[in-house]
């Protein structure tokens, strides 16, 4: 049994990670400022004697309020949806830099393993396809998305500096698009948008001509991959994602069929710097972690629709 600090533990991915850690017998200290995460995401864990929620901003301070051992620190603290980070540009840069530094210091002080939740966005609009970890990316450092992309790139750099200078035991995951229950209906990411729109009978908003691609990983698979990295001694970076690549127009049609919705498809302007394609090469994860996704889009989308059907009002 370990004591694990999960920063961003009340967010979409963070709350699923807390669930899995608690259910396998670990103790969890969840740090979250609830800016994009929510108390509801962890409400079912609040009475558990191996779970503690501290509402705090890791960009400002990291203070657990005790001197008990810490075995691992997982850094999932950051807005992750483009509309969310574009609305909080300075906070996003602060949590990737100051927040990551404070959490790395916590790891160093306790000799704890540090898991950095980085992102496929470090590849920007990639010229190499599918994306291998050795690809250095194509990010516009002054574009609107840079607040997220560069914050995560800086966080990776900080993580490696603490590994090289202070021998902190680190692992870096590059997370590709992930979906599933607890995405917030107003979050703005593509899967939640399409499913909520389909269930409400509203038009599905496809940005641009919908030819841009993403590769979608179901949340349970993603968490299994992150745990495999946490439990290993791999430094990485390692891509954790599902290589099943789809165009966004195909995804909209897929959601319409899966929901049986009469909604139409409505084309909207493409956001600035929207990457044209994205697909992980997961050779490293397969070989080094023995991990690969197991839940296909059909099943994952069906489970996600079931979740949203319970939260979204039909027309």
> Which residues are marked as active site?
148
Q: Determine, following the binding rule CB under 6 A, whether residue 247 of this chain makes contact with ligand UDP.
A: no
> Which pairs count as long-range contacts for 122-125, CB under 8 Å and 24+ apart, including other chains?
122/149, 122/152, 122/153, 122/156, 122/174, 123/174, 123/275, 123/278, 124/149, 124/273, 124/275, 125/273, 125/275, 125/276
In 3-state terms, what secondary structure has residue 304? Answer: helix
Is the Cβ–Cβ distance between 17 and 223 less than 8 Å?
yes
Of 92, 114, 90, 84, nearest to 102 (Cα)?
114
Dihedral sign of CA atoms 202, 14, 61, 45 in order: positive
Least distance to ligand UDP, CB of residue 251, Å: 8
Nearer to ligand UDP, 30 or 93 (CB): 93
Binding flags for ligand UDP, 189-228, as an x/- string (CB under 6 A): xx--x-----------xxx----x-x--------------
Cα separation, 117 vs 115, in Å, equals 6
Binding flags for ligand UDP, 118-157, as an x/- string (CB under 6 A): ----------------------------------------
Q: Determine, following the binding rule CB under 6 A, whether residue 261 of this chain makes contact with ligand UDP.
A: no
Footprint on residues 274-303 left by ligand UDP (CB under 6 A): 274
Nearer to ligand UDP, 110 or 189 (CB): 189
**Number of residues binding to ligand UDP, judged by CB under 6 A:** 15
Nearer to ligand UDP, 246 or 303 (CB): 246
In 3-state terms, what secondary structure has residue 285? Answer: helix
Q: Determine, following the binding rule CB under 6 A, whether residue 254 of this chain makes contact with ligand UDP.
A: no
Residue whose token pair is 């319970």: 310
**Contacting residues toward ligand UDP, per CB under 6 A:** 81-82, 177, 189-190, 193, 205-207, 212, 214, 248, 270-271, 274
């Amino acid at each position: 049994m370990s004591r694990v600090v999960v920063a961003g533990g009340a967010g979409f991915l963070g709350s699923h990670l807390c669930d899995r850690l608690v259910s396998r017998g670990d103790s969890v200290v969840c740090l979250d400022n609830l800016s994009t995460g929510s108390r509801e995401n962890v409400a079912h864990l609040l009475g558990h004697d191996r779970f503690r929620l501290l509402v705090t901003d890791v960009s400002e301070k990291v203070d657990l309020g005790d001197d008990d051992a810490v075995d691992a620190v997982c850094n999932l603290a950051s807005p992750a949806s483009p509309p969310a980070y574009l609305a909080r540009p300075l906070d996003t840069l602060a949590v990737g830099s100051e927040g990551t530094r404070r959490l790395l210091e916590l790891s160093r002080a306790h000799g704890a393993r540090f898991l950095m939740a980085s992102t496929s966005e470090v590849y920007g609009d990639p010229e190499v396809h599918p994306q291998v970890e050795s690809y250095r990316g194509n990010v516009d450092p002054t574009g609107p998305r840079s607040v997220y992309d560069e914050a995560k790139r800086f966080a990776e750099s900080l993580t490696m500096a603490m590994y090289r200078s202070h021998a902190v035991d680190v692992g870096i995951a590059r997370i590709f698009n992930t979906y599933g229950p607890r995405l917030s209906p107003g979050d703005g990411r593509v899967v939640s948008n399409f499913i909520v729109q389909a269930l409400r009978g509203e038009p599905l908003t496809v940005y641009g001509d919908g030819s841009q691609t993403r590769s979608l990983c179901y949340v349970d698979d993603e968490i299994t991959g992150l745990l495999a990295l946490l439990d290993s001694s791999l430094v990485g970076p390692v891509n954790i994602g599902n290589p099943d690549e789809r165009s966004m127009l195909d995804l909209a049609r897929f959601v319409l069929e899966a929901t049986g919705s009469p909604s139409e498809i409505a084309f909207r302007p493409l956001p600035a710097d929207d990457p044209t394609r994205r697909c992980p090469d997961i050779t490293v994860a397969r070989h080094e972690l023995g991990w690969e996704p197991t839940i296909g889009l059909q099943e994952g989308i069906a489970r996600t629709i079931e979740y949203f059907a319970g939260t979204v009002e039909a027309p």
